Structure 1
Amino acid sequence: MSVLAKESVVRAPGIPPLLVTVLFCFSGFALLLPVSPAWAVEGGADELGAGLVTAVLMAATVLTQLFVRTTLRRLGWTRTLVLGALLLGLPSLLQALSDHLLPVLLTTALRGAGFGIVTVCGATAAAVLAPAGRQGAVIGLYGLAVALPQVVLTPAAPWLTDTFALPAVIACGVLPVLALPWARSLGHAVEARADGPASPGGPARNPASAGAVLRRIRWPLAVLLLVTAAGGAVLTFAPQFSATPALAATGLLALTATAALARWGCGALADRIALPPITGTLALTACAGLALIASAIGTDRAPALLAGLLLLGAAYGGLQSLTLVQAFDYAGAENRHAASVAWNIGYDAGTGLGSLMLGVAAHVATFSTGFTALSVLMGLAGLAVLLAGHNKPVDPSGSRGPRPPRAKRLPFDKR
């Protein structure tokens, strides 16, 4: 892709405010993800209480995602985006006032509601605002804006909490509020592009039922669940299965940085190549990375562990963009919102399930056993994708504009 083509996507109407809004909102989210549990522990909570903080955050996120469509219809895009940024940012100021578990949980739940709004609206806006034939490139840029704060701020959180007072760090979670001017611009841009201010993004056609949409996008969701389960397992337990804290930090940086670049690059590739072959290849790449991680745990083979994390990071990031593009593609343009909700819930559920599965595996056996099981599942998923059928997905044009003939796309949907 030429430099000019990249610039045209970045400068497309609505894309700059989308990227800035996402950067501010996800910066606040990524910063407090490890800090809020530590704040609860500072106030006397045990490990269960610290775990409840993250559990409440994700539960509130998923629950809110189910009601974003109703909120959009009642408030419109602009007010909904502003509400999401405020709910994600302002409660951090209240959270900084008390380290008792109940206030931390209540403010975390409010932040989860804001995060649920931002994630669904952000992904849907990326599809609505994408220029013809460039949906993948826009989703790649969106993924990069999502991932960069996690690359920088999540690994830096322990250093920040050691250097500055915890309340001051938590108060910095107000960053999403700084996105308000761009959130308003983004809302206006989506309303202008969609069919009316209350439209959640899509032409005025009859949308399919939620069950029908899930059937159409079942394969991309299955791959997403597995790869986010693997990523969530690493992000949760890397300090425990790494030989030293320095190795854990290096491994996490390798995973997140590689994932950010892969998410961006694979989004751009999605507009130019057949998706299932690269999706299957990346699933097999994740399989190989997980196998290397499993073999290196409990040994002094740090290079093997880092190599496995790099391979997993490439698949973890790349498959996020590819499965989101496929979800929008297969669902049809009139079902963008339903596809966005399903994808975001799949991402969050996969992350939580991966942490739970590896924790159980480590309790009854070893971390190596858990990663071996994940590796086998990813390998089976990769083979299934590569052997999928040849039927065309729903709405071949969708929001992606003119495309080459797609008989060779080998899509997942075998309706």
Structure 2
Amino acid sequence: MTQRPKESVIGAPGIPQLLMVVLCCFSGFALLLPVSPAWAVSGGADEFGAGLVTAVLMATTVLAQLCVNATLRTLGWTRTLALGALLLGLPAPLQALGDQLPTILLTTALRGAGFGIVTVCGSIAAAALAPRGRQGAAIGLYGFAVAVPQVVLTPAAPWLVGAFALPAIVACGVLPVLALPWTPALGRAVAARVDGPAPAEDRHRPATPTPTPAVLRRIALPLAVLLLVTSGGGAVLTFAPQFTATPALAAACLLTLTATAAAARWGCGSLADRIAPRPITCVLTVAASAGLLLIALAVGPEPVTTPLLLTGLLLLGVAYGGLQSVTLVQAFDHAGPENRHLTSVAWNIGYDAGTGLGSLLLGLAAQVATFSAGFTTMSAALAVAPLAALLAGRRPPAARAPDSHRSPSTREAPHRLRDIP
């Protein structure tokens, strides 16, 4: 019996619009992630103040993510997506008007609210719009689109800051507004999949979502891993210009991290459709811990050891990108389609809380001790994650019900690797 060929992910309804919205919104985000802290430093802020900028961005992102479901019920998908793009983009020109820390923190808080909306809606859309059996591939493609702006703009930020006036670069954070033409079509496509009638193969599912505590217990391990790895990645993205000697080295560091992360997000997403996420998680957390340790050694008291630093960033980048896709696939898989909204909120909170926490803690470590001490502590924390992944109990049976995105061959063969939690 011949198998029906799998549908193309990139040609699925709504996916092209999702990719355009993501590229516009994350371009503004990626550009200002290292630039806003540098703008604060130029206005007289210290390392802790620079870290506080990213921490405020992530804190308001998390608060907004908690309100996204209520906003969707009130405004609908199209208006909610447009609101997120406007809040993320419009405060950037206002931030460019002054380099004092309170002004930067206020406009950053508004941008964080928009970013929270975009991230929750984006991950729900990636899972909902995925063709049957291709959820991992769709999430990987979504992650690649998220990462591309970081590959291009985040490494270029130190060079842009040196070549152009800082206020002009800050004002370019208005890029998310360019996503508005694609939000109506995307909103309609997602609403049809999320709020419309359930596919026939999903009608055996519970009619109502699972209670929140039960869902959070199911997805606790992937969220914990995500929190740890994004702490390391967020710290590097925020402080690369500070722990490197030259703008060129800072750009090389950011490019190494973001390029490997982009490739790993796409590749590991597709890989998660074929084999169990848990072994992938163990391998990638070991790589992240080793990468952070190499970075700590490279930025120690002696002059920065460039080869060691870039090797550490390469390992961290693979883990940082790969674990984003794998943990999101794992979280959706464990929680079930009826809990997509809650799962997306929880996963994005873990991602953004980790980014903000890592930036804040590394800034504090640099002020109290050294960057090297901060990276060493992060490496030690990640070293525990593979053991936790191996010792964690199996998923509850209720979470094992097949979903519309798992391939028929996987559903019919529960003994295969893909069904191992």
- When normalised by structure 2's length, the TM-score is 0.87
Deviation at 1:32, TM superposition (A): 2.0
Q: Give the aligned partner of residue 334 of structure 1.
A: 338
Cα distance in 1 between the residues matched to 2:79 and 2:379: 43
Stretch of structure 1 that moved more, 379-388 or 399-408: 399-408
Q: Give the aligned partner of residue 172 of structure 1.
A: 172
| 2:341 alignment partner AA | H
Q: Give the aligned partner of residue 200 of structure 2.
A: none
Q: Does 1:95 align with 2:95?
A: yes
Deviation at 1:142, TM superposition (A): 0.7
| 1:249 alignment partner AA | A
Q: What is the DSSP-based 3-state SS (H/G/I as helix, E as strand, rest coil) of the residue aligned with 2:8?
A: helix
**1:113-124 correspondence runs (5 A):** 113-124=113-124
Stretch of structure 1 that moved more, 364-373 or 334-343: 364-373
Report which structure shows greater RCO (CA 8 Å, sep ≥6). 2
Q: Give the aligned partner of residue 74 of structure 2.
A: 74
CA 1:145 to 1:190, structure 2 compared with 1: closer, same or farther past 3 Å? same
**1:20-31 correspondence runs (5 A):** 20-31=20-31
1:62-83 CA-to-partner distances (Å, cap 9, x unmatched) read 1111000000001111111011
Counterpart contact for 2:9–2:137, Cα < 8 Å = yes
Q: What is the DSSP-based 3-state SS (H/G/I as helix, E as strand, rest coil) of the residue aligned with 2:9?
A: helix
Q: Give the aligned partner of residue 127 of structure 2.
A: 127
Q: Give the aligned partner of residue 235 of structure 1.
A: 237
Counterpart contact for 2:89–2:176, Cα < 8 Å = yes
**1:234-253 correspondence runs (5 A):** 234-242=236-244, 244-253=246-255
Cα distance in 2 between the residues matched to 1:373 and 1:139: 31
Q: Does 1:384 align with 2:414?
A: no
**1:268-307 correspondence runs (5 A):** 268-298=270-300, 299=302, 301-307=305-311
Q: Give the aligned partner of residue 86 of structure 1.
A: 86
**1:259-274 correspondence runs (5 A):** 259-274=261-276
Deviation at 1:89, TM superposition (A): 1.4
Cα distance in 1 between the residues matched to 2:84 and 2:189: 17
- Cα RMSD of the aligned pairs, angstroms, is 2.7
**1:155-234 correspondence runs (5 A):** 155-196=155-196, 205-234=207-236
Deviation at 1:277, TM superposition (A): 0.8
Q: Give the aligned partner of residue 343 of structure 1.
A: 347
CA 1:7 to 1:212, structure 2 compared with 1: closer, same or farther past 3 Å? closer
**1:5-154 correspondence runs (5 A):** 8-42=8-42, 49-154=49-154
Deviation at 1:274, TM superposition (A): 1.5
Deviation at 1:219, TM superposition (A): 0.5
Counterpart contact for 2:47–2:367, Cα < 8 Å = no
Counterpart contact for 2:28–2:173, Cα < 8 Å = yes
1:295-346 CA-to-partner distances (Å, cap 9, x unmatched) read 3333564322221211111111000100001111111111111111111111
Cα distance in 1 between the residues matched to 2:86 and 2:249: 37
Identity of aligned residues (%): 71
Deviation at 1:236, TM superposition (A): 3.0
Counterpart contact for 1:21–1:179, Cα < 8 Å = yes
Counterpart contact for 1:27–1:149, Cα < 8 Å = yes
Cα distance in 1 between the residues matched to 2:364 and 2:107: 29
Q: Give the aligned partner of residue 394 of structure 1.
A: 399
1:15-54 CA-to-partner distances (Å, cap 9, x unmatched) read 0000110000000111122333444455565656544433
Counterpart contact for 2:7–2:132, Cα < 8 Å = no
| 1:295 alignment partner AA | L
| 2:148 alignment partner AA | L
Cα distance in 1 between the residues matched to 2:371 and 2:167: 34
Cα distance in 2 between the residues matched to 1:301 and 1:167: 32
CA 1:41 to 1:372, structure 2 compared with 1: closer, same or farther past 3 Å? closer
Counterpart contact for 2:131–2:405, Cα < 8 Å = yes
Q: Extract unaligned runs of 5+ from structure 1.
A: none
Counterpart contact for 1:275–1:409, Cα < 8 Å = no
CA 1:270 to 1:346, structure 2 compared with 1: closer, same or farther past 3 Å? same
Deviation at 1:111, TM superposition (A): 1.5
Q: What is the DSSP-based 3-state SS (H/G/I as helix, E as strand, rest coil) of the residue aligned with 2:399?
A: coil
Counterpart contact for 1:282–1:315, Cα < 8 Å = yes
Deviation at 1:206, TM superposition (A): 1.2
Counterpart contact for 1:140–1:263, Cα < 8 Å = yes
- When normalised by structure 1's length, the TM-score is 0.89
Deviation at 1:243, TM superposition (A): 5.2
Stretch of structure 1 that moved more, 36-45 or 6-15: 36-45
Deviation at 1:124, TM superposition (A): 0.7
How many residues are treated as equivalent by the alignment?
405
Deviation at 1:150, TM superposition (A): 1.1
1:250-280 CA-to-partner distances (Å, cap 9, x unmatched) read 2221111111110111011111111111111
Stretch of structure 1 that moved more, 402-411 or 311-320: 402-411
Q: Please, which of 324, 329, 344 is the counterpart of residue 325 of structure 1?
A: 329
| 1:400 alignment partner AA | H
CA 1:366 to 1:162, structure 2 compared with 1: closer, same or farther past 3 Å? closer
Cα distance in 2 between the residues matched to 1:6 and 1:243: 49
Deviation at 1:401, TM superposition (A): 3.2
| 1:80 alignment partner AA | T
Counterpart contact for 1:226–1:378, Cα < 8 Å = yes
CA 1:46 to 1:238, structure 2 compared with 1: closer, same or farther past 3 Å? closer
1:215-271 CA-to-partner distances (Å, cap 9, x unmatched) read 110000111111111212322333444455433332221111111110111011111
Counterpart contact for 1:129–1:190, Cα < 8 Å = yes
Stretch of structure 1 that moved more, 260-269 or 36-45: 36-45
